[in-house]
């Protein structure tokens, strides 16, 4: 009786249980051997293999998808949203050099729609599998009257690990270093409140409107999945940033602490700092990794700006200074690297079919980003 009354009030526990029963099949592709227990417990269990590390450091991040959800609602497409959330979170810890281990999600909605739920979870599972990250647990909350009809919210938490000696902190960045930019797929998950205002209010488009410059509807263009750079970042770090502790162990007769410290200090690490270009754009994100005595000079026009940003820039009526603080403008992640290694690093990035360019350099300064005249 109580359960039926609860369903009448808008919370269908039986439906939730039936949908959760399908999760083991959906999540099978994300399984890692370190995962213990079953899906649906009070807590997810992950047995970190500490033998792989000398000083393992856990790295965490939590985020949402923001008003990009409004585009998903309008287009009745929910498969990409789960991918966006996982990839965004994974990128946030990748900039520290961390490998993602497991992910937990939260879905809040007024009424649980089975097809929507399945699409979102399928997106989580696909992105977790692509990032070799286990979807270890989550929460689905039915809150009738709290959300508008047909709407929901999602958030997620990522946990990763990095060897302490291999963490990227930007401390070795110095004037003369090069800035490499990795291409984005579009807006990723930031700037959608302004983008929706430009496209749907100012330009009077509908989500289903076809835009010739995009060779796409504006809705589908805005739903393009946030790129995960984490697998590429791990390959780059393995190739170019040797483990200082491993290097020290290879030196003959390193029994003394003095020799180990010397080895750690002299081991070259060409990749010095990474920045995920999310909310705050170039202006607020790159300074997170800059020393206080260095500025990054960015050259707009040095990369292939995506058509959607050309439209925003030409028709949005927003000053360039603000555009580069709101949007990624076609660059989803930046790498600050030793100038002597920049072309070699760029070549390896290109070999993995990722568009990238040298978009700037580091100079003496105050820990800020500067822009040359826009191209």
Residue 309's CB: how many other CB atoms inside 10 A? Answer: 21
pLDDT at 245: 59
- Distance, CA of 58 to CA of 101 (rounded, Å): 9
Non-local (6+) Cβ contacts of 334 within 8 A are 179, 180, 181, 182, 274, 275, 277, 282, 285, 286, 296, 359
Same domain, 121 and 156: yes
Same domain, 223 and 354: yes
Q: Is residue 172 part of a domain?
A: no
Q: Is residue 171 part of a domain?
A: no
Closest CA to 271 of 95, 10, 122, 124: 95
Same domain, 92 and 6: yes
Same domain, 75 and 214: no
Q: Is residue 173 part of a domain?
A: no
Q: What is the pLDDT of residues 186-238, one digit of tens each?
A: 999 999 999 999 999 999 999 999 999 999 999 999 999 999 999 999 999 99
Measured CA angle at 278 (ends 274, 283), to 5 deg:
75
Q: Is residue 57 part of a domain?
A: yes
CATH number of 183's domain = 3.90.650.10
Same domain, 241 and 363: yes
pLDDT at 55: 96
pLDDT at 267: 66
Same domain, 217 and 362: yes
Non-local (6+) Cβ contacts of 359 within 8 A are 179, 180, 181, 298, 299, 302, 303, 331, 334
Same domain, 16 and 155: yes
Count the domains in the chain.
Answer: 2
What range defines the domain where residue 40 resides? 2-166
Tokens of 108: 């809040």
Closest CA to 360 of 294, 278, 266, 313: 294
Q: For the chain, which ranges sit under pLDDT 50?
A: 1, 251-255, 259, 261-265, 375
């Amino acid at each position: 009786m109580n359960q039926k009354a609860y369903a009448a009030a808008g919370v269908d526990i039986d439906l939730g249980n039936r949908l959760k029963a399908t999760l083991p099949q959906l999540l099978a592709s994300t399984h890692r051997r370190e995962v213990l227990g079953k899906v649906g417990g009070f807590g997810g269990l992950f047995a970190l293999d500490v033998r792989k590390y000398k000083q393992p450091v856990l790295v965490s991040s939590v985020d949402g998808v923001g008003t990009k959800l409004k585009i998903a609602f309008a287009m009745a497409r929910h498969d990409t949203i789960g991918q966006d959330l996982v990839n965004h979170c994974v990128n946030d810890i990748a900039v520290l050099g961390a490998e993602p281990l497991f992910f937990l999600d939260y879905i809040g909605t007024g009424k649980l729609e089975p097809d929507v739920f399945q699409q979102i979870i399928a997106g989580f599972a696909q992105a977790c599998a692509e990032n070799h990250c286990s979807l270890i647990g989550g929460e689905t909350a039915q809150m009738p009257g709290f959300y508008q009809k047909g709407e929901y919210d999602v958030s997620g938490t990522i946990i990763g690990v990095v060897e302490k000696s291999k963490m990227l902190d930007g401390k070795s960045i110095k004037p003369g270093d090069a800035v490499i930019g990795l291409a984005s797929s579009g807006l990723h998950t930031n700037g959608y409140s302004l983008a929706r205002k430009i496209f749907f209010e100012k330009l009077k488009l509908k989500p289903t409107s076809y835009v010739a410059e995009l060779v796409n509807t504006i809705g589908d263009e805005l739903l393009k999945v946030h790129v995960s750079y984490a697998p590429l970042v791990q390959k780059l770090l393995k190739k170019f940033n040797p483990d200082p502790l491993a290097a020290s162990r290879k030196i003959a007769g390193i029994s003394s602490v003095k020799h180990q410290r010397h080895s750690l200090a002299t081991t070259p690490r060409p990749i010095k700092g990474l920045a995920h270009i999310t909310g705050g754009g170039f202006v607020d994100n790159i300074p997170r990794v800059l020393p206080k005595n260095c500025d990054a000079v960015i050259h707009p026009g040095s990369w292939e700006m995506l058509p959607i940003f050309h439209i925003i820039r030409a028709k949005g009526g927003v000053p360039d200074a603000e555009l580069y603080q709101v949007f990624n403008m076609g660059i989803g992640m930046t790498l600050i690297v030793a100038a002597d290694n920049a072309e070699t690093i760029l070549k390896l990035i290109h070999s993995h079919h990722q568009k990238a360019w040298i978009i700037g350099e580091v100079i003496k300064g105050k820990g800020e980003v500067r822009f040359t005249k826009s191209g």
